[in-house]
Chains A and B, each alone.
Chain A
Amino acid sequence: MVGKKKRNNGIILTLVGILIAVYILFPFYLVVMNSFKKQAAIVANPISVANASFAQFKTNIDTVVNNSNFNFWYAFGTSALITILSLVLLAVLGAMAAWVISRNNKKKWATAIYMVFIASMIIPFQVVMLPLISTFRDVGKFVGISMLQSVPGAIFAYCGFGGAMTVFILTGFIKGVPYDLEEAAAIDGCSPEGTFFKIIFPLLTPVVTTVTILNGMWIWNDYLLPSLMLGQNGKVKTLPVAVQAFVGSYVKQWDLILTAALLAILPMIIVFLIGQKQIMHGMVEGAVKG
């Protein structure tokens, strides 16, 4: 009797789980399905599979990819470049700074820097965004380096904004790495920078992965910072900014908007399918530590 009741419970729970999954995945289905249709067919019936064709899908994709407001490949490349370079710089520079802080944690200056980093994590982007733009514009004009509407400027800003959390998580980890390792290396005649890059940095792989996933999800999907720094109508656009510009120019053209949405979410979905475990693990680790 008990066994049967338990099995029934299991079936009910599985059904509930499937229903929730259907609800959560339904918008994805709509995006994919309607990218295969014409606007008229979408408006007539947005749910059905009827009138969907590969030929139409190809037409939609071509229209969207070649659209001057969207310019998919260029936006994708810009997003990828900004995200990857920011992640590499944040990982390396963050680990360097975190190592110095954790190896001097008894000294006042290191504690002060660490405290400033932690305190800065509560600063919302809104309170710095307006002066940031004007400072970048003025300083850029003054020294002759264009910080706005430029990829290096965006990378610079991401290093600044992501620095605090990166250092915070990495410092916590490095404190747990035994100091003996470094002393042994020093006795063998290894320089401090050599010790860091040859011994410490490789040991940080798991925590660097966590930090990279957290920062990557944020930077790839971020809209406000690139829209302000690169401009809505500027030449350089990231993917979210391009989607916004594209939708603004095609109000209610759902065949094109949903195809653009599909193109915008596809890279992230592919990355997720490849590194599902690491991504879910990293997101939790980051939340629990940060």
Chain B
Amino acid sequence: MKANTVASKALSIAVMAASLILLFAALALDFTGSGFKGRGALLVVGMIGFFVGLYLFPTPKNHRKIVYIIFLFPLLFTFAVTVIIPLVLGIGYSFTDWTGVAITKNVGLANYSTMFHDPAFLYSILITFIFVVLNMVLINLVGFLLALLCTSAIKATGFFRAAYFLPNLIGGIVLGYIWQFVFNNVLTKMTNTSASILSQSKPALIAIVVVYLWQYGGYIMLIYITGLTQIPGDVLEAAAIDGANARQTLFQIKIPMIASTITICTFLTLTSAFKQFDVNMSLTNGAGSVPNFMGSYLSNGTQMLALNIYNTAIAKNSYAVGQAKAVLFFIILAVVSLIQVRVSNSKEVEL
């Protein structure tokens, strides 16, 4: 037994040592600027090998702790590299003259000042807020009405649910192009007009709302259906016995009883509309003329916040300003989410 432990201890230490040598060799190659192609593989093998060695270490007392570390590490590592580090860097970069590749100096709040003096950006914020409010109201209303329809005593509700949900399966890019076709070629043909509604800013914004409603309404409907079917049957029965009519049942029983579902759907539509990017890009790509906004002519009549950030950085190549806009975007979403937590918590206390 004891010899066994010694042997496995030796094996474990040998594996760990070998892995560490590989790791350091890889890092040494990195720092000396070697072009050796295999250095990436060395690093990965070294890292995995180290954990294998750690796992093999025969320690009944601490084995559980070692397993915990090995189980947590992969996800935490990817999470830190893809979310935490870029977030910290990104907030820092927004105060510099970052070009996407290099930084030469700290510029303080200059990027933020530039963005708040940019009418096109302020316009994007404005239409994003309008879009968000319109969407929140319309999608919830339509989703709820569809849910009532699909929970009523008619046939084929299963088919209706699936059909209404279907658009949600499709990614925004493809969906935007399909609707571009509908607006530009089909609708103009059907109404016998030459100009598509996508060619003017305001109708085009309505078009984005219509497409988004088409995509998202069925999903919100599903959540409302779940809420409605969770209302206990005896409550509805009691209401019927007491002589409540359909409208009374709806407003005084059904809606109050799905208050928490309404909260969920409201914030879900709110945050997703805020982040809307794909449909905006493929349907209009933000184009549209605005004759006069704060005294200047704009050509981004349908460009919402997320697309504005993307275009600022990628198309116009001003990474630092784009990053500053993104930080503001983050702050807005964080505030919205905090309000959501507040509202949900206060609701729970009431119930």
Residues on A facing B (Cβ under 8 Å): 10, 13-14, 16-17, 20-21, 24-25, 27-28, 30-31, 34, 42-43, 45-47, 93-94, 96-97, 99-101, 104, 113, 116-117, 120, 122-135, 139, 142-145, 156-157, 159-161, 163-164, 167, 191-193, 196, 217, 220-224, 228, 240, 243-244, 247, 254, 257-258, 261, 264-265, 268-269, 272, 276, 279-280, 283-284, 287-288
Q: How far, in whole Å, are A224 and B154 apart by their CA atoms in the complex? A: 41
Q: Which residues of B contact A144 (CB under 8 A)?
A: 26, 29-30, 36-40, 43
Whether B171 is near chain A, meaning CB under 8 Å from some CB there, is yes
The smallest C-beta distance from B294 to any residue of chain A, in angstroms, reads 24
Question: B35-56: which residues lie under 8 A (CB-CB) from chain A?
Answer: 36-40, 43-44
Asked whether B177 lies within 8 Å of A283 as measured between CB atoms, the reply is no
Q: Mark B72-95, 1 if CB is under 8 A from A, else 0.
A: 101110111111111101100100
Q: How far, in whole Å, are A135 and B93 apart by their CA atoms in the complex? A: 12
- The stretch that binds A, out of B3-11, B123-131, B133-141, B184-192, is B184-192
Asked whether B166 lies within 8 Å of A128 as measured between CB atoms, the reply is no
Q: How far, in whole Å, are A283 and B313 apart by their CA atoms in the complex? A: 33
Q: Mark B152-179, 1 if CB is under 8 A from A, else 0.
A: 1111110111111111111111100111
Asked whether B82 lies within 8 Å of A128 as measured between CB atoms, the reply is yes
Other A-B pairs, 17, CB within 8 Å; known A160-B83, A161-B83, A288-B223: A17-B154, A20-B146, A20-B164, A96-B71, A97-B71, A123-B330, A127-B323, A129-B86, A144-B29, A145-B44, A159-B78, A160-B78, A161-B82, A224-B277, A276-B162, A280-B222, A287-B268
Asked whether A130 lies within 8 Å of B174 as measured between CB atoms, the reply is no
Known: A128-B87, A143-B39. A268 touches B185 (CB 8 A): no
Known: A130-B319, A224-B310. A143 touches B43 (CB 8 A): yes
Q: Which residues of A contact B87 (CB under 8 A)?
A: 123, 127-128, 131
Give me 6 A-to-B residue pairs in the complex whose CB atoms sit less than 8 angstroms apart, sorted by A's number. A96-B72, A96-B75, A130-B323, A131-B89, A287-B268, A288-B223
Q: Which residues of A contact B277 (CB under 8 A)?
A: 223-224
Asked whether B171 lies within 8 Å of A288 as measured between CB atoms, the reply is no
Q: How far, in whole Å, are A288 and B220 apart by their CA atoms in the complex? A: 11
- Tell me the dominant secondary structure on chain B's binding face: helix
Known: A130-B326, A143-B26. A268 touches B78 (CB 8 A): no
Asked whether A100 lies within 8 Å of B36 as measured between CB atoms, the reply is no
Asked whether A193 lies within 8 Å of B67 as measured between CB atoms, the reply is yes
Q: Which residues of A contact B254 (CB under 8 A)?
A: none
With CB as the reference atom, state the residue of chain B lying closest to A228. Answer: B314
Q: Which residues of B contact A142 (CB under 8 A)?
A: 30
The smallest C-beta distance from B158 to any residue of chain A, in angstroms, reads 9
Whether B219 is near chain A, meaning CB under 8 Å from some CB there, is yes
The smallest C-beta distance from B125 to any residue of chain A, in angstroms, reads 14
Q: How far, in whole Å, are A159 and B81 apart by their CA atoms in the complex? A: 10
Q: Which residues of A contact B79 (CB under 8 A)?
A: 117, 120, 159-160, 163-164
The smallest C-beta distance from B93 to any residue of chain A, in angstroms, reads 6
Q: Which residues of A contact B1 (CB under 8 A)?
A: none
Q: How far, in whole Å, are A200 and B86 apart by their CA atoms in the complex? A: 34
Q: How far, in whole Å, are A267 and B101 apart by their CA atoms in the complex? A: 38
Asked whether A268 lies within 8 Å of B156 as measured between CB atoms, the reply is no
Asked whether A124 lies within 8 Å of B330 as measured between CB atoms, the reply is yes
Whether B149 is near chain A, meaning CB under 8 Å from some CB there, is yes
Asked whether B264 lies within 8 Å of A46 as measured between CB atoms, the reply is no
Q: How far, in whole Å, are A221 and B171 apart by their CA atoms in the complex? A: 4
Q: How far, in whole Å, are A141 and B80 apart by their CA atoms in the complex? A: 19
Q: Which residues of B contact A288 (CB under 8 A)?
A: 223, 226, 261, 264
Q: Which residues of B contact A14 (CB under 8 A)?
A: 154-156
Asked whether B178 lies within 8 Å of A258 as measured between CB atoms, the reply is yes
Question: B264-290: which residues lie under 8 A (CB-CB) from chain A?
Answer: 264, 268, 274-275, 277-278, 281-282
Asked whether B178 lies within 8 Å of A31 as measured between CB atoms, the reply is yes
Q: Which residues of B contact A129 (CB under 8 A)?
A: 86, 326
Q: Which residues of A contact B150 (CB under 8 A)?
A: 17
The smallest C-beta distance from B38 to any residue of chain A, in angstroms, reads 8
Asked whether B169 lies within 8 Å of A268 as measured between CB atoms, the reply is yes
The smallest C-beta distance from A135 to any residue of chain B, in angstroms, reads 6
With CB as the reference atom, state the residue of chain A lying closest to B68. Answer: A100
Whether B322 is near chain A, meaning CB under 8 Å from some CB there, is yes
With CB as the reference atom, state the residue of chain A lying closest to B71. Answer: A96
Asked whether A265 lies within 8 Å of B174 as measured between CB atoms, the reply is yes
Specify which of A16, A167, A191, A261 is in contact with B149 (CB 8 Å cutoff): A16
Whether B214 is near chain A, meaning CB under 8 Å from some CB there, is yes
With CB as the reference atom, state the residue of chain B lying closest to A142. Answer: B30
Q: How far, in whole Å, are A267 and B329 apart by their CA atoms in the complex? A: 34
Known: A30-B182, A192-B63, A280-B162. A247 touches B169 (CB 8 A): no
Q: How far, in whole Å, are A27 and B322 apart by their CA atoms in the complex? A: 35
Asked whether B177 lies within 8 Å of A257 as measured between CB atoms, the reply is yes
Q: How far, in whole Å, are A96 and B83 apart by their CA atoms in the complex? A: 20
Q: How far, in whole Å, are A160 and B82 apart by their CA atoms in the complex? A: 5
Q: Which residues of B contact A113 (CB under 8 A)?
A: 72, 76
Asked whether A221 lies within 8 Å of B186 as measured between CB atoms, the reply is no
Smallest CB-CB A-B distances: 8 pairs: A160-B82, A221-B171, A145-B40, A144-B40, A96-B71, A160-B78, A128-B86, A131-B86
Known: A14-B155, A17-B156, A161-B83. A97 touches B222 (CB 8 A): no
From A42, A45, A223, A243, name the one whose CB has the most chain B CB atoms within 10 angstroms: A223
